[in-house]
Structure 1
Amino acid sequence: MNDEKKANQIVNELISSIENKEENNIANLFAKTVSVNTEEFEESISALMDYYTGNLVSCNSEYEPYSSGVYTPERTCEYIYCGYSVKTDRSDYYFYLKIVTRDTVNADNIGIYSLYVIEQSRYDNKDVFYSGDGFETPGINIDKTDTSEKAFLDISNKVIKIINDKNVDELKSLFSAEDLKQSSDFDEAAQDLFEFCENAKSIKFGFDSHNVGLTDMKPRPYYDSDKFFITSQVELICQNKICEFFMEYCILDSAEPQNQGITTLRVADKATHPDIMLEVDLDVPVECGIYVVK
């Protein structure tokens, strides 16, 4: 059975179980590790049955389901990501699911891993397919939308405080474990960052940058295999300069949770490098950790 048929079968069974108020059937569609370990999972099923109203009129795939996975000598784990437009005789919804279809290490992981449901009237960004809040939170998630900008701001504000405190250990704690392993000169690079961005004050989104019409440089989420990243290049306002500030943050690593954190942080003085695109213009690998353009 191909990915589309698998996804359609699960979604149709899910909707039927919701409409018939079959709590056990809904729970059984989820991975056992999710239904057992997610806090208040039974309550979330009740909330889902209350949220979804009416009888099914149509259920159409928003796009062809796509697959990803973890492939190592020790383990093969495969997922399907899929989104649906669901219409009932009382309301319209978007469904977004991550479904684990295979796990050679733990069969209890097979089933729905995360489900997001929202009424279409409550989702404003009609130009982008609904994909929940971007965090692939296990279990049932209702009325959640993308919060990557807030997440990026929270992380950025922590970085600003660390820069001003000149605290290398705190900065290390924000980086992914894998990235730190590959950054042999991290302490020295951190000191360069502290000096370069002395008295950092704030992050500014939405500036006109690089002479290519990029007027909206807000955080951009993207997936890479089983990892989920947020990236953004913004202005970092310091006391005596305005810096171009690029950060990539791994917000989710399904296979290796310890690798969540900053993977790369790059800065340049906007006055001397007004056109630089720190994400793509530098011949520096992502694993470089901290990179100050001088």
Structure 2
Amino acid sequence: MEVQCPTCSARFKVPDTVSVVTCPYCGTTFHVHTGEEAEEEHYFFPPMRKDPAGQLLKFISRQYGAPADIADAKVIEKKLHWVPVYFFYLHGKASETVEEVEFLGIPAGSPLKTLLMDYPFPVRGKKFFNEAMVKKGTYHEPEMKREEAEAIARSRLESALKKEASEENSYLGKPELEVKFQGLVHYPVLEVAYEYNGETFRGNYVDGTDGRVIRAVYPLMTEARKRATLLGSGIIGAGVVLGAIASAIYSNAWGIIGGLVSGIAAGAGIFSKGSVSKRTVGEVMRVKRGNVYFKKV
């Protein structure tokens, strides 16, 4: 039979024998015959069957300056973390042209809370919580109360509306805010450690649902570091030369100072990424967010 979600109005088919379902589009759980939301509020995402270490090393092998044989590195540890995340459906409207809709996941605890802040969690695929999964990894209890997470979600929605209104030069007025709790989800994140050339690399994390690399640390080859050092030095040198020419033309020292400053600023970015022995990268980034680990490279 076909049912309609009371939250997002999506239509989808379910077996005739089912009485309670979870919308695959927004995650709302409801009774199919009445449309009333079910009381079930604790879910989890089943871990993928792919090898997280394989996904990690394959991703690293494609990065700038990574050793050619990094995919054959020795994996020494794989650890599954069940991270508590509060999920919310956000809908805000301030005018006919200013409107925001978002499904937001707010990490509620574990050592990975900061790393996963602003992570683009999926909303499809969650299942009702099963006590058996606790034994399959490290289970982290929520450290943040639901009310605190809801306040963060509301503040974020208000900020998004203000920003959109400012960009469109639109009057904000008193916005209509809907912050709907979608449940507590324990999300699988896999921590991987590996050895390469006698050195151990830790702090690598893979999304347990689809294999996306959240954070990866790898050694940068000597040749790559040399190229980056030469390029950075060349940019700084070019800035000095252009600055000297400008100083000679205008008969003051501000030209060479400006050239030096701009050259150092441009070269510093290259030095920081390409002249180091280890590099930290990630596979995904939330749009308009500042978490550098989620920048696609």
TM above 0.5, one fold? no
Larger radius of gyration: 2
Between 1 and 2, higher relative CO (CA 8 Å, sep ≥ 6) is seen in 2
